[in-house]
Each structure stands twice: as structure tokens, then as C-alpha cells.
Structure 1
Amino acid sequence: MTDDPRIPKNGMPTAVLPVADSGPAAAPTQPRRTRDRVKIAFFTVLTVFVVALLVVGVFAWNLWSSFDQADRLEDAFPDGDRPAAVEGAQTVLLLGSDSRGTDEGADLTGRSDTIMVVHIPADQATVTVMSIMRDNWVDIPGHGEGKINAAMALGGVPLVVQTVEQFIDTRIDHVAIVDFESFSAISDALGGVTVQNPSAFTAVSGEHFDEGEITLAGGDALAFVRERKAFATGDYRRAANQQRFLKGMLSGILSPDTLVNPFRVSELVSAVSPHLTVDAGVDPWYLLSTIWGARDIRSGDVHFFTSPTLGTGWRGGQSVVLPDPDEMEVVRQAIEDGTLSAYEPPEL
């Protein structure tokens, strides 16, 4: 006979009923916790997305409204045959003047005081800025030889574009014209622009600049980029100083603190646009795509030089700058090859 307590002594088994626990039945907690975590993650991602969308929307609206202050050139480019563009690259003509603006818009009838070609190769890894001395003696299409800065007075922006395109044998993709007041506005928006001044000088307007590292803002920035009479080399030194200022300015603009801060970018655009005239193809979307393409570029990736020359000479009783034709061929080939950032002009 078995000793199983479930079997009574009469040998008949009895049903074994489960014993109720005094506590509540265990719940399937793991699936519920998983669902809760999924919900939290979903709403977190949704919140971040909505906030990011709002920030981008506000940024785009600010950028659009700020950039809308810039004047537009509807006929910036010449008709007829033009050099081929460099595929995937961007070549921008930057013109500067002491007196761009009028009450009725841009004054584009005078001579351009500053001429720069900004080139971004197809890989968008570098930026090269080439200054062209305003007294370079070149062929101005339809007008014979003359100083390159006379093209504006002779035929407006289209003739300047045509003259520069012929000079560099490359198509200009965009044009931007700024007055020197923008240098003051940009330096203030950046909280000052730091430059390396090779030698002390006093501008004719009275501002003094020490040798070494100096920080420029407001009127000092304007005097620094304008001055030429204080130097024996005249426009050569002025072009070099403008390059120094642009290098310091780009160092501030291309810093991560600026590029990842949409409101800082909008502030800069707002500061510059009242002093700016651009071709019709330059709009906020172009700016956004350019900023995005330049996100990995830092100040060390930006290179400056002045178009090679043979020095000064005389033509028709006026002092001019003589381009170096052999070296200009090297420059043209470097633009086509995407290696302009490695070009080093010979010293005079």
C-alpha cells in the first residue's frame, strides 16, 4: 500500500485543488515594460523632431527675410560665348567698392575697387581666394586694353564678368558686390575679427594699427581694409590687408560655434545683406547648400594669393600693374585641375 497522502485509506484518490496564494497573481511585467519603453522612445523622438523642425523653420524664415534685404542683379552675365564651367566646382566673382549703395539701390556705374575670385573645387575640401589688382592692364572685350577695374564703368557687371572670365579662362558661376561698410558690420556681428598685421601703420583717417595680432571691429575694420596711401606698395599692401581681414573673418564664420548655430548664421546674413548685391541665382537655398557643403572646411583650408604680376609699368601715361602671362597660364590650369589651393605665386 502506498503512503501517498492524497489517497485515503479506502484507496480512492481525491482531486487535488490548487491552493490560492494570499497575494495577487503575478502579471506579465516584461511585455508591459517593453511597450512603455517603446512609447517613451517614440514620443522622445517625435518631440526632438518637432523641435528640430521648428528650429529649421525659424532659421529658414530668418535667413530668407534677412537675405531679402540684398539687392538683385537680373542681368549679371554677358550674352554670347563664355568659357566652360569647371564641373562640380563653384567660381564666384566678389567685387568691392567704397560707394556701392544709393537711396535707389546699387550704384554699379563706377570702378570696382576690389576684385576677388573665390574658387571652391568639386570636392569642396578647400576654398581659394585670388585677389586681382585693380590696375592690372588687361584686354577689356570690345574696348581694347585698359585697367581691369575700368570694365564696370564701360559696361557694368556683365563686362566685368566677361573681362575676368577671359582673364582666368573659367566661367563665373555667381557674382556678389559688397561695399566696404559690410566689413564693419561683419566684424561687429562676429565680436571682432583677429588679423596678423605685418607692420604698424597709421591710416590717413587717423586710426593706428600696431604690428602683430590685432582685433578689428567697427570703424577700425573699415579703415584697415580701405587704407593704401600709408604704404609704399600702395594697392599691393591694401590687397594683402583685405586678404588678412577675410582670413580672420572666415576663421570666425567657419568655426563650429558659428556653423552649427543657425541663429548666429542668420545674424551674420542680416548684418551683411543690406550692403550686398548678388546675381539672381543666389538665394537662401543656395546659401544653405553652400553652408552645408562647407561644414567640414576650417580656416586652415582657405587659401589666399594675389594674381601673379611682373610689377608696375606705364601705359598711356598712367601707372599700371602688368600681369605675368606665363604664371597666369599656371593659374588657369590649376583652376581646371582643382588644384588652385596648392598654387604659390612667385615673389616679385
Structure 2
Amino acid sequence: MTAEIKKQKHVGRWVAVGIVGVIVLALLAAIGWYFVRVNPSVQQVETIETAFPEESLRPEAGEGDGQPVNVLLLGTDARGEGDSLLTDLGDRADTILVAHIPPDRESVQIMSIMRDSWVEIPGHGMAKVNSALAYGGVPLMVQVVEGIIDQRIDHVSIIDFAGFEGLTESMGGVTVNNDIAFSYHGYDYPQGEITIQGEEALIYVRARSPFSDGDYQRVHNQRAFLRGLMTQLMTRENLTNPNRMADILATISPHVATSDTFDLGTVASLGSQLAGIGNSNIQTFTMPTLGTGMEGSQSVVHVNWDGVEEIRAAFDEESMTTFEPPAER
């Protein structure tokens, strides 16, 4: 090999290394800028110091990659002492949802748990599911929900209603397919596709008195809203736009508390895995029930445990792209 050829190969190799180096530096700069931009907002997110029950009380953890991810989502009107979401959380979780992400990451299932569902609360007997928060805080609520789905809850996120309003405004409104027209607190919600934000959106997801079946339609509307929100958030345009995601995070971070497992890296990783999921692959349903009844002086919702067994079996599947949610009561 001539000296000239050796020289050309040497130069070529260094040119290639230089190009790779520039790309790596550019990526590091972008990542660094993104974290600088987002980090102040992340610091405002309250951490739930103890979000999970002790290990011996939990379902077994799966091993290896390709495990499902389950996120417990709570919506609350609490804002207690020291401006903490957690101080007076008690039984004030207005919304209880489980977001299930199967191992193939090709769909998301969102299950509403009606707050009056009559279930076993460990150490306290039968009671409304919502009372777990009053009896034992977030860890007991997690334990109860893990018992229902027979899987581990991986992450917990709580948002208060001020954060909810801010989120809808930062999104420029959320488009919802509203199946029952109603009016409430001065706002009209016609049937069909509507775009709502701020107080209008908050009233929409909290309304139950306009409906003959009360909480059933309320949780149905909550899931319709969440489906619309996720569809808008999970576009590649949003997920690959650091400015937009940073602005959204800055808006809601003072109103959010999360388990320490739900850090920025985890959220970013899940976001990239779910990027591009369409509305047809976001399935929403209510935990199967047998209707309402009375337990002593309490009005409760009776759980359909045979239906819950079907949900547990479905949650164990590798993929749920063909999953058919159970029919509403």
C-alpha cells in the first residue's frame, strides 16, 4: 500500500470520526439544553415519598424487558397545608384511573375505577375504594388497586384541579367526542366533537348531576376527555418539540405529585415508545360493575368480579390491540 493511499485512508478515517463526533456533540447539546429548559419545572413536581406498600404485600415483579407498565392516576381537589397535594388528600380523590401499557407498547388501556366501588380494604374490611386514601394514604390505595388488577402499579401520578385547568389551556383546548348533550354551571356541551379548556373542561369531567346514571356517565366523560388529551399529546409533533413539552410541563408541574419512579427519564422513554399511537389504540372502559346498591346507610357500586377476572387475563397478554373493552352497565 502506497504512502499516499495510507494518508487518504488516515484522513478519511478522521473525517468519519469527526462527523460522528459532531453528531454526538449536537445530540448532547440538544439533550443538555432540553434538561436545562425542563429541569426547573421538574423541580416543582412534588414527590410522593412513600407511594407503594411494603414488598411482601405486592404482586410479584416481572423479570426482564418487555413488561407491562401500569400507572395509577388520581385527580383531586385537595391542596393542603404547606401548599401540598398530599396533606389533606384523604378521600378527596375525585378520579381514579389505571393506565395499562402492554409489553408491545402498541396500545394503551385506561380503566376507570368508580370511587364508590365496594371492595376489600386490607385491615379495614369492606368499604368504598376511595376510603383507602383516608385509611392508609397512597400506599394503601396502590395495594387495593394492585389487588384488583393482580399486577403491580409501577408509577403513581396525582394532579389537582388547578393543574388540570392549566393543562387544557396549555394544549389550546382538548377535543372530546361527547356522546350526551348537557348543560351545567353555565356551560353547554353539545353532542359530538367539542373542544374544551380551562374551567369549562374541569366542569365537564366533574359533572354527574345532569345524568340519570350519575357517576357512570361522569367516568365515561372523564375517559373520553383523557382519550382526547392523550391523542393530542402523543403526536410526534408534540413529543419531538422540546419547547412545547417544556411549556406544558411548566404549566402543570406545580400542581402534580408523582412517585419517585416516575422521573423525567422514565416519562421520556415511555413517551418515545408510545409516539404515534392513534385514537383507535387508546381504549377506555369502566371496571366492570353490577350497578349501585346500599351497604347500610351508604350508596355503593357493586363490583362484577367475574368481569374483573376477564380484565386481569387481558392485562396479562403481550398485546391488547384486539382487546374489546367490556360493555358499559
TM-score by length of 2: 0.88
Q: Give the alignment partner of residue 76 of structure 1, picking from 51, 57, 72.
A: 51
How big is the shift at 1:336?
1.7
**Cα separation, 1, equivalents of 2:81 and 2:202:** 19
TM-superposed CA distance for 1:196, in Å, is 1.0
Report what 1:227 is aligned to.
207
For the 8 Å contact 1:195–1:248, the answer to whether it is kept is yes
Q: Does 1:157 align with 2:138?
A: yes
Query: What CA distance in whole angstroms lies between the structure 2 residues aligned with 1:338 and 1:227?
Result: 36
Give the drift of 1:199: 2.1
Q: How far off is 1:179 after superposition?
A: 1.2
CA contact (8 A) 2:234 2:271 kept: no
For the pair 1:65 / 2:45, whether they are aligned, the reply is no
Q: State the secondary structure of the residue aligned to 2:138.
A: helix
Q: What is the CA-CA distance between 1:47 and the residue it aligns to?
A: 5.2
1-side partners of 2:320 and 2:164: how far apart? 26
Over the aligned positions, Cα root-mean-square deviation in angstroms equals 2.5
User: Percent identity between the aligned chains?
Assistant: 41
Deviation, structure 1 residue 180? 2.2
Paired with 2:224 and 2:97, the residues of 1 have a C-alpha distance of 13
CA drift at 1:84: 2.1
Q: Give the structure 2 partner of residue 243 of structure 1.
A: 223
**Which residue of 115, 123, 135 corresponds with 2:104?**
123
2:3 paired residue number:
none
2:306 counterpart residue number:
326
Give, in angstroms, the shift of residue 266 of structure 1.
Answer: 1.4
Greater alpha carbon shift after TM alignment, 97-106 vs 174-183: 97-106
Whether contact under 8 Å (2:117, 2:129) holds in the other structure is yes
Q: Which amino acid in the other structure matches residue 326 of structure 2?
A: P
Contact 1:76 1:175 in 2 (8 A): yes
1:41 Cα offset (Å): 8.2
Q: Is the 8 A contact 2:235 2:275 kept in 1?
A: no
From 150, 159, 181, the counterpart of 1:169: 150
TM-score w.r.t. length of structure 1 = 0.84
CA contact (8 A) 2:106 2:319 kept: no
In the TM superposition, residue 66 of structure 1 has moved relative to its aligned partner by 1.2
Unpaired stretches in structure 1, ≥5 consecutive residues: 1-32
**Cα distance 1:159–1:229, how it changes in 2: closer, same or farther (>3 A)?**
same
Superposition deviation, residue 97 in structure 1: 1.0
| C-alpha deviation, 1:64, in angstroms | 2.4
Report the counterpart of residue 282 of structure 2 in structure 1.
302
| Distance 1:173-1:58 versus aligned 2 partners, 3 A rule | same
Letter in 2 for 1:70: V
Q: What one-letter code is carried by the residue in structure 1 that aligns with 2:265?
A: W
CA distance in 2, matches of 1:169, 1:35: 60
- In structure 2, the residue matched to 1:293 is 273
2:248 is the counterpart of 1:273 = no
Greater mean deviation of Cα atoms: 71-80 or 101-110: 101-110
Structure 2: state its 5+ residue gaps.
Answer: 1-7
What are the Cα deviations for residues 192-243 of structure 1, in whole angstroms up to 9, with x where unaligned? 110111122111x322212211111111111111111121111111101111
Taking the TM superposition and a 5 Å limit, the aligned residue runs for 1:5-154 are 49-79=24-54, 80-87=56-63, 88-100=67-79, 102-106=81-85, 107=87, 108-154=89-135
* Greater displacement, 161-170 / 338-347: 338-347
> Mean Cα displacement is larger for which, 255-264 or 97-106?
97-106
Q: Determine if contact 1:70/1:276 at 8 Å carries over to the other structure.
A: yes
Q: 1:285 to 1:240 in 2, by over 3 A?
A: same
User: How far off is 1:164 after superposition?
Assistant: 1.0
* Cα shift at 1:76: 0.9
Matched residue type, 1:103:
G
Alignment-mate amino acid for residue 331 of structure 1: I
**CA distance in structure 2 between the partners assigned to 1:329 and 1:54 by the alignment:** 49
The runs of at least 4 aligned residues of structure 1 exceeding 4 Å deviation read 33-49
> Displacement of 1:323 after TM fit?
0.6
Mapped to 1, the partners of 2:16 and 2:278 lie a distance apart of: 36
Aligned residues: 318
What is the distance in 2 between the residues matched to 1:329 and 1:267?
A: 41
Residues 157-178 of structure 1 show CA distances to partners (whole Å, capped at 9, x for unaligned) of: 1111111111222111111111
Shift in Å at residue 61 of structure 1? 2.1
Aligned residue number for residue 27 of structure 1 = none
Structure 2: distance between partners of 1:200 and 1:126: 29
Between 1:121-130 and 1:85-94, the stretch displaced more is 85-94
